[in-house]
Amino acid sequence: MTRFTPRFYVAAAIVAAVLLFGVLGPLVFSGHELGTVVGGLYDHPSGRLWLGTDNIGHDVFTNLMYGTRTSLVIGLVAGALATLIGVVVGTLAGYRGGALEEALMGVTNVILAIPSIVVLILISIALGTRSTVAMAVVLGVTSWPWTARAVRAQAASVRTREHLDVARLSGAGTMSLICYDVVPYMLSYLCMAFVLQVSSAVLNEAALSMLGLGPSGGVSLGIMLHWALAWESVRTGAWWAFVPPTLLLTLLAFALLMLQSSLDEVFNPRLRRFLRRRRPAATPTAEAA
């Protein structure tokens, strides 16, 4: 029986709120079109423009909504891709073992050894224009190794369990075994891995964007920060240009990580410490020996 702690609900609520903001925000707060000049450069927040304007006169609030959406899309797609590749590679390696495992793990280790930021920078530069999808694919394809490694360890341990022997004896094929017996066993771990991949994808995209290698032509939280830094918003004190995207990014990253650690607590009881215990029996029962 899994028991969800209060932390889990808080984290899930925050993530849901950010999701809603990014996905439904533009529909709800339909005011300004993305990319239209609505004011001067770095206008202060006012009743009309809740978060003022940025360095080209665009509405920061609109940018924030669309930026959140882009960041989320990239994060989710890249996270899903990375988790998928990682699971496939890891399960195959862990379950089959032998030469296949050695080869796959060799590739994984080499990719792991090279720092991801280096590969991301190099690939992003090599691409001429970077669409949102391309960025998501690049992020997903470079960050699957750690998931593969962990999944392989899990798969290798599942391989020797008895219920697999039973399934094998009853004639199940390899693919069916993997789908119905191995993967469900690791489902809890896969959930946590996916959450981690999403959060790392969001943060990596933001880092790349701040370096100047973000999705070209679009708005993301990282790109908003890039503009803010490149166009002197700090020195001119235009806090509305860089504080809101920072807060949103922080909130998202924090909530995702808290989600992952509370899932960890749920699935791994030994880490549970703060669950309220029921009050112990205070009065001895009336039975006498």
Partner 1 sequence: MALTADVTSADAAAAEEGQAASTSLLRYLARKAAWYLGALVVAIVLNFLLPRLIPGNPVDAIVSSLGRGGVEGSQLRAIHEHYVHEFGLDKPMWQQFLIYLGNLAHGNLGTSFAQSPASVSDLIAQALPWSIALQLPAILIGWIVGNGLGAIAAYRGGWFDRGAFLGSLFTSSMPYYCLAILLLYLLAVAIPVLPPTGGYSFGNVPELSGAFVADALTHYWLPFLSLVLVFVGGQAVGMRSMAVYELGSDYVNYGRGLGLRDRTLVRYIFRNAMLPQVTGLALSIGTLVGGALITEIVFSYPGVGTLLFTAISQNDYPVVAGLTLLIAVAVLVANFCVEIAYGVIDPRIRAANRGER
Partner 2 sequence: MSTERTADVATAGTSAGPVLTASGLRAAYGPTVAVDDVALSVGSGEVLGIAGESGCGKSTLAAVLSLTARPPLSVLGGELTVDGERLDLSGGRKPPRTWRGGVVSLLPQGAMNALSATAKVGDVAVDVVRAHRGRVPRGVALDLLADRLDALDLPRRVIGAYPHQLSGGMRQRVVTVLSTLLDPRLLIADEPTSALDVSTQRALVDLLRELVRRGLVGGIVFVTHDLPVLRAVADRIAIMYAGRIVETGPTADMVDDPRHPYTAALLSSVLVPEPQVRRRRIGGIRGAPPDLADPPAGCRFHPRCSLAMDVCTTTPPVVGDAEAYATCWWTKDHPDEPLERSL
C-beta closer to partner 2: residue 115 or 280: 280
The interface partner of residue 119, options being partner 2, partner 1, none and the CB cut-off 5 to 8 Å by kind, is: partner 1
Contact set with partner 1 (CB under 8 A): 106, 109-110, 113-115, 117-119, 121-123, 125-126, 128, 203, 206-207, 210-213, 225, 229-230, 234-235, 237, 239, 242-243, 246-247, 249-250, 253-254, 256-258, 261, 270-271, 273-274
For the bound state, the minimum distance from the C-beta of residue 156 to partner 2, rounded and expressed in Å, comes to 20
The interface partner of residue 176, options being partner 2, partner 1, none and the CB cut-off 5 to 8 Å by kind, is: none
Which positions ≥6 away from 215 have C-beta within 8 Å? 70, 74, 130, 131, 132, 134, 135, 205, 209, 223
For the bound state, the minimum distance from the C-beta of residue 278 to partner 2, rounded and expressed in Å, comes to 5
For the beta carbon of residue 212, count every other beta carbon within 10 angstroms: 14
For the bound state, the minimum distance from the C-beta of residue 159 to partner 2, rounded and expressed in Å, comes to 24
For the bound state, the minimum distance from the C-beta of residue 233 to partner 1, rounded and expressed in Å, comes to 10
C-beta closer to partner 2: residue 27 or 282: 282
C-beta closer to partner 1: residue 7 or 159: 7
- 215/37 Cα distance (integer angstroms): 21
59 — phi, psi (to 5°)? Answer: -75, 125
For the bound state, the minimum distance from the C-beta of residue 270 to partner 2, rounded and expressed in Å, comes to 13
C-beta closer to partner 1: residue 37 or 110: 110
C-beta closer to partner 1: residue 89 or 182: 89
Contact set with partner 2 (CB under 8 A): 277-281, 284-285, 287-289
Helix or strand run (H / E) with residue 21: helix 6-28
- 260/7 Cα distance (integer angstroms): 10
For every residue of 131-171, DSSP letters joined together read -HHHHHHHHHHHS-HHHHHHHHHHHHHHHTSHHHHHHHHTT
For every residue of 75-125, DSSP letters joined together read HHHHHHHHHHHHHHHHHHHHHH-HHHHHHHHHHHHHHHHS-HHHHHHHHHH
